[in-house]
Structure 1
Amino acid sequence: MLTILSLAAGLLAYAPWLIVLILLALLPAFVGEVHFNAQGYRLNYFRTPERRQLDYIRYLGSSVETAKEIKLFGLSTFLVDRFRSFADRMYADNRRLAIRRAAWGTLFAALASCAYYLAYALIVWRTVQGEFSLGDLTFLSGSFLRLRGLLEGLLLGFSQIVGQALYLEDLFSFFDVRPSIASPPAPRSFPQPLRSGIVLENVGFRYPDSDRWAVRHLSLTLAAGEVVALVGENGAGKTTIVKLLARLYDPTEGRILLDGNDLREYDLADLRRHIGVIFQDFVRFHFTAGENIGAGRIEATGDRNRIQQAAERSLADRIIQRLPQGYDQPLGKRFHEGADLSGGEWQKIAIARAYMRDAEVLVLDEPTAALDARSEYEVFQRFRDLSAGKTAVLISHRFSTVRMADRILVLENGKVVEAGSHEELVASGGRYAELFELQASGYR
């Protein structure tokens, strides 16, 4: 800046019109650069959905999880065509922008060159006319060249900062996002052990951007130490209840009480630490077998004894013993030396995560969907013993599973329509009996 001010002062003293020529040479290029930076940002912003589609198609075409169906259904050509349609549109947009930028850039560069040579011509002309000495000629031409270079670099850097600031605005807006589910300022600790249990009072919930109530006017009690099964057709609200218990969402209406206190009064991390949940669509981490189980209580990942005990409880230890590297064996085919497992074997690994928590409340959402009949029986015999004294929630479509529960709740359209033991519900001849008969008829 000191050099620029010094040179500018010299030019102003001798030939102020040189400053005008410098501005004429540089300002159009600067304005054009800022304009096309903004155009590039807008193009990237509005093409984000297409880029996500491209990434998804790239994943489908290269993932071991999707390879079977892509080959069997002959989807290769379809995926290539769809990838090409997105890529061609994005290429065409980028090409148009690049051509416009190059054309205007050429024009601005020509204008800058004209201004540059015009300044030299004027300096030489006035020197020939005797208005400037040779010393003036040397000073003015050198100062003009140096000042032009400095200002050009300064404006170029500023235009780049302006362009990057557009993206930084997105970054900072992301940093400003705050979770809608958070702990209160003075949270309660999770009660150990549970005394009265969990109560849902007139709970209603709608997922964001949905007009449909997932559950509505729902009232039920999960007593401490009780094993409760939730039964119902798809969309009845079973998994939604689990998400509300874990405070992945808060109720739209009503409230959930834990030992008589609103669930929102408890520390969020402490609450989730004491609720062991395994969803039907559990994650298959491409980590080692030990890390897959240790993910259930990440701070205890280095505790091999605890991991082995959790594996024994879920019967996953038999699977791990067959692996070449045991608990240090990488799972999945994404990385080198990874060992893939069957769906049922993965499910036992996932169930071990729930046991890893040693939680006060256990929630299993379709925990045996991928298990064979013998494995299912063994898992639930073990679960019956290990869940003694704990509050447990089972979600299953298999009536051989839910009949082990102390109490069965039948959900329909987000409400409890029946409640009781297996024998009581079958004897009542209601919705549960109908569903049980439909499933039982398939085995006759």
Structure 2
Amino acid sequence: MSPTPTGAPAPKKSVGRLSRLVRESTALVWESARRSFAALTALQLVGAGLTALQVLATQWVLTGILDVARTGAADVVLPVAVLALLTAITAATGSLQGSLSRFVGESVTRTMWRRVLDVSTGVGLRQFEDSTFFDRLDRVRSSALTRPFQVTNGVISCIGALATSIGLVATLYSLSPLLLPLILISGIPVMLTSRQESRLEYRFNVAQTQRARLRTYLLLLLTGRDEAKEVRAFGLSRNLRARLDALYGRYLHELGAHLRRRGGFNLIGQLTAALVLGGTLLVLVWLIAGGGLSVAAAGAALVAVRMLATQVQALSGGVQTIFESGLFLDDLHEFMTLAPRVPELEVHGDPIDFDEIVARDVRFTYPGRVEAALDGVSVRIGRGEVVALVGENGSGKTTLAKVLAGLFPADHGAVTWDGVPVTDLPPGAVRASTAVIFQDFVRYALDAETNIALGRPDDTPDQASVRAAASAADIDGALSALPAGYETPLTRVFEGGHDLSGGQWQRVAIARAFYRDAPLVVLDEPSAALDPRAEDELFSSLRRTLQGRAALIISHRFSTVRNADRIYVLDHGRVAEHGSHDELMTLDGSYAELFRLQAAAYLPDAER
């Protein structure tokens, strides 16, 4: 058995787990759509009864046909009519079962998605820096769309096949008890080999997790709207398609080998079952020849044998489906253990009206990394202050902002709000008190009002406050001029939508932060897409807009940060120096050097 990939639970081998999987699967279906599932189960029982009645009706018809010379054709009319009616009712019942099965399957999918989202939206942001977490999330995310429906069908198939088999067994027993053991034995080989097929399928899917994610990513690059311009500008399509074709070629090669192995096990099981079934038919011939069965009873028995063999196969298939999907459900259970008792992203309580936020000796290391992104960092943010973080790329600015905003927990050191460690504050209180707009903010494909109102997603949008926030970010005029004003979708993907320029989008994101009305506003490169005039207007009015709230600004533009109350210069995860612009220029350290380098591009006689 090949080693289990990292992050995947090892398949368990005990036969007893099958009953647990059936119970868990049935409980899942019952939780998702109990009325429909109950109706579906009732229809399965009705179908089982109809199948048994069809066998008896077949015997009745055969008896009438064999006696037609003696009794006349009139005596055949009623049994034929009954058999035809039973056939029609069975077909109608099957169609209704299909519709109910589809509804139940979709209901189960929703329940599964709810469970997945409980984890994916509840875990901390740090988990999304871990590739092992992504492997688990990818497997669960892809299975959540298909496996629940398969589990549902497996449970329903087992219920229907078992109920029908019981009816056929009773009917066949009345015809010839000797045939029953042979029919039931025929299902054992298929059940054993199908279990091996399930293990192969699970291991194959686990091994393909990361490569499947890469294929999906390449498809996004080749078909995505935002990526289309760069793909064409650089002529990337040939290169990316070659990579995709190579990945698909490898996948199909491995898939072919996997399917051949599965097919081998299936062939062994089916051939063994066919041999047993052939022996059963030979016994049936022997009974007829020996006078143990009448011709009519033999005909009915033949129909019952074929039906029962089909139901045994269906029962085996249902068990295989549950077992195979159960391996993925085990994966889901492992994933569910990641859910915290209190969701990380849950925000409750009122914002903290702080006087001072202090980080002391903070250290933070990303999962899978050895070198710390933050190493002994100490900063302070006072009420109403504008504090800036500057430094070269990779110096730890954005990481520090995430720690201060409560998105990352510090590995060492402490962050306090008015002297209270964030670990002692109510869960989510820090995030409720912080409005964060990162450089790679999300451009929601929703209307303009919603894009801003998502700053307070649990509140009913306040149109006056939305427009006030838009005015503060100097985007109200552009949004009001859209075809449907603030109700215009900010995307061309949907009908009636309208896209914005990069600078306009950045203003919408800033308006979202203002609308949140939190005591701490974190702006990561807030002027990256703004022209110099717009940048100057934004920051000249920033203190007025904040109205006593504190701001933490990350920027590479020193014209943006020079008026900050305090500037922290980060270098390789440490605070190299801090102070006001004038103090840092007097210190003549790394800040002064970077400032002069940037200013020299505009003013030859820059401040020295």
TM above 0.5, yes or no, is yes
Q: 1:287 to 1:146 in 2, by over 3 A?
A: closer
| 1:21-67 C-alpha deviation (Å, 9 max, x unpaired) | 33553222222223223322222221121221121111111112111
Give the whole-Å Cα distance in 2 for the aligned partners of 1:215 and 1:349.
31
> Which residue of structure 1 aligns with residue 253 of structure 2?
92
Tell me whether 1:40 sits opposite 2:228 in the alignment.
no
Contact 2:435 2:517 (C-alpha < 8 Å) held by counterparts: yes
**3-state DSSP of counterpart to 1:296:** coil
Equivalent residue, structure 1, for 2:373: 214
Assess if the C-alpha contact under 8 Å between 2:351 and 2:519 holds in 1: no
Q: Which one-letter code corresponds to 1:122 in the other structure?
A: V
2:80 match: none
Residues 316 and 300 of structure 1: CA distance in aligned 2, closer, same or farther (over 3 Å): farther
Give 1 or 2: higher strand fraction: 1
Tell me: CA distance 1:2–1:198, structure 2 relative to 1, closer, same or farther (3 Å): closer
CA distance in 2 between partners of 1:282 and 1:314 (Å): 15
Is it true that 1:328 corresponds to 2:487 in the alignment?
yes
Structure 1 residues 3 and 378, CA, compared in 2 at 3 Å: closer, same or farther? Answer: closer
CA distance in 1, matches of 2:594, 2:381: 23
Counterparts of 1:289-308 in structure 2, within 5 Å, are 289-300=448-459, 302-308=461-467
Q: Which moved more, 1:118-127 or 1:95-104?
A: 95-104
Q: Which moved more, 1:142-151 or 1:360-369?
A: 142-151
Task: Work out whether residues 350 and 432 of structure 2, in 8 Å CA contact, stay in contact via their aligned partners in 1.
Answer: no
Match of 2:562 in 1: 403
Q: What is the CA-CA distance between 1:360 and the residue it aligns to? A: 0.6
Asked if 1:202 is matched to 2:202, the reply is no
Partner of 2:116: none
Q: 2:534 aligns with which of 351, 372, 375?
A: 375
**1:364 counterpart SS class:** strand
Identity of aligned residues (%): 37
Q: Note if 1:155 corresponds to 2:316.
A: yes
Paired letter, 1:380: F
| Residues 198-231 of structure 1: CA deviation (Å, up to 9, x unaligned) | 1112111111221111111222221222221112
Contact 2:567-2:581 at 8 Å conserved across structures: yes
CA distance in 2 between counterparts of 1:40 and 1:325 reads 51
Mapped pair 1:247 → 2:401: no
Task: Give me the whole-angstrom Cα distance separating, in 2, the residues matched to 1:249 and 1:180.
Answer: 17
SS at 1:199 equivalent: strand
- 1:434 deviation in Å? 1.1
1:79 maps onto 2:240 in alignment: yes
Matched-pair contact (CA < 8 Å) for 1:183–1:267: no
Q: Distance in 1 between matches of 2:200 and 2:477?
A: 59
2:525 pairs with 1:366: yes
Flag the structure with higher helix content.
2
Kindly indicate whether the alpha-carbon contact (under 8 Å) linking 1:181 and 1:250 is maintained by their aligned counterparts in 2: no
Structure 1: distance between partners of 2:165 and 2:477? 76
- For the 8 Å contact 1:314–1:348, the answer to whether it is kept is yes
Question: 286-295 or 115-124: which moved more?
Answer: 115-124
Q: CA RMSD in A?
A: 2.9
Conserved in 2, the CA contact under 8 Å of 1:203 and 1:254?
yes
Give how far 1:413 is off: 2.4
Three-state SS of the structure 2 residue aligned to 1:385 is helix
CA offsets 1:228-274 (integer angstroms, 9 cap, x no match): 11121122221111101111111111111101100122223332122
How far off its partner does 1:301 sit?
5.2
Change (3 A) 1:257 1:118: same
Q: Distance in 2 between matches of 1:232 and 1:436?
A: 11
Asked if the contact 2:349–2:432 (Cα under 8 Å) also holds between the matched residues in 1, the reply is no
1:134 and 2:294 matched: yes
Worse overlay, 112-121 or 251-260: 112-121
Count of residues in correspondence between the two structures: 440
Using the alignment, how far apart are the partners of 2:279 and 2:512 within structure 1? 77
Aligned to 1:314: 473
Q: Output the CA distance in 2 between the equivalents of 1:143 and 1:55.
A: 49
Name the CA distance, whole Å, in 2 between partners of 1:113 and 1:428. 89
Q: Any conservation in 2 of the 1:278–1:351 contact (CA below 8 Å)? A: yes
What's the secondary structure of 1:204's corresponding residue?
A: strand
What is the letter of the counterpart of residue 477 of structure 2? R
Please tell me whether the aligned partners of residues 181 and 248 of structure 1 are also in contact (alpha carbons under 8 angstroms): no
> In the aligned structure 2, how far is the partner of 1:310 from the partner of 1:300?
15
Residues 1:69 and 2:230 aligned together: yes
- Change in Cα spacing, 1:412 to 1:107, as seen in structure 2 (3 Å) is closer
Q: Which residue of 2 aligns with 1:274?
A: 433
**Aligned residue among 198, 201, 215 for 1:54:** 215
- Indicate the SS of the match to 2:560: helix
Q: 2:501 aligned with 1:349, yes or no?
A: no
Distance 1:180 1:4, change over 3 A: closer
My pick for the range that moved more, 136-145 or 324-333, is 136-145
**Residue 113, structure 1, aligned to residue 299, structure 2:** no
Moved more, 41-50 or 202-211: 41-50
CA contact (8 A) 1:32 1:105 kept: yes
2:125 alignment counterpart: none
What is the alpha-carbon distance in structure 2 between the residues aligned to residue 2 and residue 323 of structure 1? Answer: 62
Using structure 1 for the length normalisation, give the TM-score: 0.89
TM alignment of 1:183-194, pairs within 5 A: 190-192=351-353, 194=354
C-alpha contact 2:503 2:529 (8 A) present in aligned 1: yes
Report how far residue 327 of structure 1 moved.
0.8
1:164 is matched with which residue?
325
Q: Structure 1 residue 438 and structure 2 residue 597: aligned?
A: yes
Deviations, residues 286-324 of structure 1 (Å, cap 9, x unaligned): 111111111111134522111101100000112213322
Q: Counterpart in 2 of 1:337? A: 496
Q: Is the 8 A contact 2:231 2:237 kept in 1?
A: yes
Taking structure 1 as reference, are residues 30 and 432 closer, same or farther at Cα in structure 2, changes over 3 Å only? same
Deviates further, 4-13 or 99-108: 4-13
- Residue 359 of structure 2 is aligned to residue 223 of structure 1: no
Structure 2 unpaired stretches of 5+:
1-161
Question: Are the aligned partners of 2:395 and 2:573 in contact in 1 as well (CA < 8 Å)?
Answer: yes
For the residues of structure 2 that align with 1:3 and 1:419, how far apart are their CA atoms? 79
Structure 1 counterpart of 2:391, from 224, 227, 232: 232
Q: Deviations over 1:106-163 (max 9, x none)?
A: 5544443332232222333355346x35388578656644543443332222222112
Change (3 A) 1:180 1:84: farther
Counterpart-to-counterpart distance in 2, 1:321 and 1:441: 40
**2:455 counterpart SS class:** helix
Which deviates further from its counterpart, 79-88 or 350-359?
79-88
How has the CA–CA distance of structure 1 residues 70 and 181 changed in structure 2, closer, same or farther, with 3 Å as cutoff? farther
For residues 358-416 of structure 1, what are the alpha-carbon distances to aligned partners after superposition, in whole Å with 9 as ceiling and x for unaligned?
Answer: 11111111110111110000111121212242221111111111111112222222222
Amino acid corresponding to residue 57 of structure 1 in structure 2: L
Q: Deviations over 1:314-343 (max 9, x none)?
A: 001122133222211111333333322221
Q: What 5-or-longer segments of structure 1 have no aligned partner? A: none
